[in-house]
Amino acid sequence: MDMKYCSHCGSPVTVMVPEGDNRPRHVCSAGSCGIIHYQNPNIVAGCLIEHGDGLLLCKRAIEPRYGLWTLPAGFLENGESVEEGARRETREEACADVEILQLFTIFSLTHINQVYMMFRARLHEPVFSPGEESLDVRIFEESEIPWTELAFPVMNQTLRHYFEDRSKGEFNTHIGAVRAVGEGAGRRIEVAMLQQGDD
């Protein structure tokens, strides 16, 4: 993200490698507050909510990807744990109160500097409805998942791992890195899963 002025004191910032560091940072001008503005990935936390044989999906009422389906998820707030963030986003987007069961997927999206953490969860009560950011909230069985109308590749991956694990009768935690490769029209997303375990 580009930054021209210091968000702390309003002076111009310059891009330079601070002493003792090894990469360029936005640094407030000498003579002003001198703060180094570090930029780090944001965390997105969300829930994969099991209900009967199905999973809960929300139809987005906001951009980006208006009208497409997704799992309830959103940016973590300061002062919040990831599991609290996942439950809050679920309340906001699906008006549902959930119990967290397991951390299910972690994806590092290095091209947009985000880390997704998706939890398996279940409804405390069979109660849900569209929140302000959703047009619709529904339970989909595996055969009903709108694969071509999913908002984000990470959600697609999370759902695929879910149904794969469910068919094996065992849920594991899956860790992957999502990268953009290529330029212009040839630009595409690649997903590399960390191979875990003892096999």
List binders of Zn ion among 5-44 (CB under 5 A).
6, 8-9, 11, 28, 32-33, 35
Tokens of 70: 């997704």
Which residue lies nearer to Zn ion by CB, 3 or 139? 3
List binders of Zn ion among 67-96 (CB under 5 A).
none
Residues binding Zn ion: number (CB under 5 A): 8
35 DSSP 8-state letter: -
As a whole number of angstroms, the distance between CA 123 and CA 55 comes to 10
Q: Pick the closest to residue 84 from 114, 109, 119 (CA basis).
A: 119
List binders of Zn ion among 130-189 (CB under 5 A).
none
Which residue lies nearer to Zn ion by CB, 32 or 114? 32
Q: How far is the CB of 113 from Zn ion (least distance, A)?
A: 23
Tokens of 177: 């890195």
Q: How far is the CB of 2 from Zn ion (least distance, A)?
A: 16
Q: How far is the CB of 36 from Zn ion (least distance, A)?
A: 10
Which residue lies nearer to Zn ion by CB, 13 or 150? 13
Q: How far is the CB of 40 from Zn ion (least distance, A)?
A: 19
Q: Write the burial class of residue 30 (CB in 10 Å: 0-12 exposed, 13-18 middle, 19+ buried).
A: exposed
Prior bond to 64 cis, omega within 30? yes
Q: How far is the CB of 78 from Zn ion (least distance, A)?
A: 21
Tokens of 24: 């360029």
Chain center to CA of 85? 11
Enumerate binding residues for Zn ion (CB under 5 A).
6, 8-9, 11, 28, 32-33, 35
